[in-house]
Chains A and B, each alone.
Chain A
C-alpha cells in the first residue's frame, strides 16, 4: 500500500516553556514557544508560512474569535492557519493535517503551537479547582461529575473489577514515572522522588484514584516546526521524521459498548500508524503514552501489545516501565510528573530522545518512538473517545 507519511515529513525545530507564567497570556506563550522552535531550526521567521493552533477543544482555552492568534503576534507571513482541537489528541491530528498542506505546497514550513494557562487559571479569584473542557452538554455536572477524575475513575473501576487490578499497580506507574522525572531537570517533580508508600498514603480524591494517580497542571507552551523531508535536510538540527500516524475512535462502537471501559481506542490508531511506519511493537524504543491518570498508561501497555489485556498491572509491577524497566514508558516523567501539555508533552520528549538530547534519561540508540494522544468530549457514558498515535524516528 502507498504510504502517505513514512519519512516524507520531519520536525526540524522545537520550543518548550513549562512552568508558571502568570505574567504572560496564553497566546504570548504560544508565540514565544513558536519563536524558540523557529530559532532552534535555524530558519528565519520570514520562511515560516504556515501555522496551526493546537487546542484542547475549539472554543475553550483559546477562544476561536480572537483576531490576533500567535502567528500574527509573531509576524509570520502565513498563507495557511487553522485551529484544531480534540482533547489531548489535537497535536497528532494537527500534525497529520499540516502534512497535507505541505504536500499541496500551500506552505513550506508549518509551526504548530500549544499553550496552557491552567496553573494561573486555578489561582484566579473565581478559583474552582476544576479544569473544565466541555462546558455545554456535559451531562453529569448536577450529579457531581465535575472534573476529569469524576468519570475517568470508571475506567479504573472496571479494570479492577474485571481483572483484579490493584491500587499498587496504579501506584507502580506513578512511581516509575517519578523515577524518570528525577532524570529530567525540566520536570516539575524533579528532585522530589516518590515511593510506593508515599503513593498509598496520598489522599483518596475520587476512589479508586488517589491524588498521585492524577496528572498536574501548569502554564507554558510547546511548539514545533514541521516541513518536508527534503527541506529538513540542511537545517540546524537533525530531522525527526514522521514515520506514521493514526487515529482510533470509541464511537466505532455503540456508546455503551462495555469493552470501551477497559481499553482505549488504540486498535485502529496503532494499526494505521504502525503500517505507515513499517514497524511492529518490538521496534519501539520508547513510548510516551497519554497519562492524564495512571489507568490510561496501564490500558495502553495492554492495548499496544506489550502484554495481554488484563495483565497490565502485574506486568508493569514486575517488569517495570521506569529507568531500569523492561520498556521505556513516559521517559520525561509524563503528564504525571513532568508537565501537562496534552500529548505535546510526549511529542516534545520524543523529539528530545530522537535527537539524543535527553541527557541522564537518554534511551541508548533510540531510533523509533511513539507519542499517543487521548481525549475528546466528556459526556458520560461516552468519555474521551479518541486515541491518536504518532510514530517518530531518526536517520
Chain B
C-alpha cells in the first residue's frame, strides 16, 4: 500500500556508499580483507594483522546473500506511519560470518524461526529506495 509518510532514508556516508551503490544494482556486497580473506560488516580495518593506510587492503566484494535468522522481533506497532505493522526485523547471520540487520519478508511473522535459512531479496519499497531484505530460502547455507 502507499503511505504518505516516506520511510527514513539510509544514512549514507563515505564508509558505506559502495554498499548502497551495489544495492542499486541489486548486488549484495560485504567488505573483505584482501590479505587474509576475512569478511566484515560494517566497514572495518582487518583486526587480524597490520593494515594498509585507510584500510587499502579492504575491498567491497560480492557476497552470497545467504544466511540464517539469528534473532528477530515482530513489530506489532509501527512507530511512524511510514511503516505498517506487523513487520519482522531480524539479525541475519550471514554465510560469511557477520551479522546483518534487516527485515524478513515473504512469510507470515508467525512462521519466522531462529535458524531459518534466508536469502537476500532486493525490494523496491518506495520510489528511489531499494532495500536488501531477506526471505525464506530452501538452500541451507554452508556455515551459519
Contacts and interface: CB of A to CB of B under 8 A. Distances in A.
Interface of A: 128-130, 136-147, 150-151, 153-155, 157-158, 161, 203-209, 254-256, 258, 261, 379-381
A161 B129 CA distance: 33
A380 B101 contact: yes
A340 B59 CA distance: 43
Given A136-B11, A381-B98, A381-B99, A143 B70 contact: no
A381 B83 contact: no
Given A136-B11, A151-B89, A256-B99, A143 B76 contact: no
Given A153-B73, A206-B73, A254-B47, A145 B101 contact: yes
Contacts of A129: 79-80
Interface stretch (B2-10, B50-58, B135-143): B2-10
Given A143-B102, A261-B71, A380-B99, 6 more contacts: A128-B80, A140-B89, A142-B125, A203-B76, A254-B47, A256-B93
Contacts of A158: 70-71, 114
A141 B89 CA distance: 11
Contacts of A204: 74, 76
Contact of A142 (B9, B70, B77, B99): B9
B75, B76, B77, B109 pick with most chain A CB within 10 angstroms: B75
B97 A256 contact: yes
B42 interface: yes
A146 B81 CA distance: 12
B11 A144 contact: no
B101 A140 contact: yes
A145 B11 CA distance: 13
B122 interface: no
Contacts of A157: 71-73, 114
A138 B62 CA distance: 23
A347 B114 CA distance: 37
Contact of A143 (B47, B114, B131): B131
A151 B76 contact: no
A139 B75 CA distance: 17
A209 B71 CA distance: 13
A208 B74 CA distance: 7
Contacts of A209: 73
B76 A206 contact: yes
B78 interface: yes
Contacts of B98: 255-256, 381
A145 B91 CA distance: 11
B74 A145 contact: no
A375 B129 CA distance: 31
B113 to A, nearest CB: 9
Contact of A144 (B10, B75, B100): B75
B80 A142 contact: no
Contact of B73 (A136, A138, A141, A208): A208
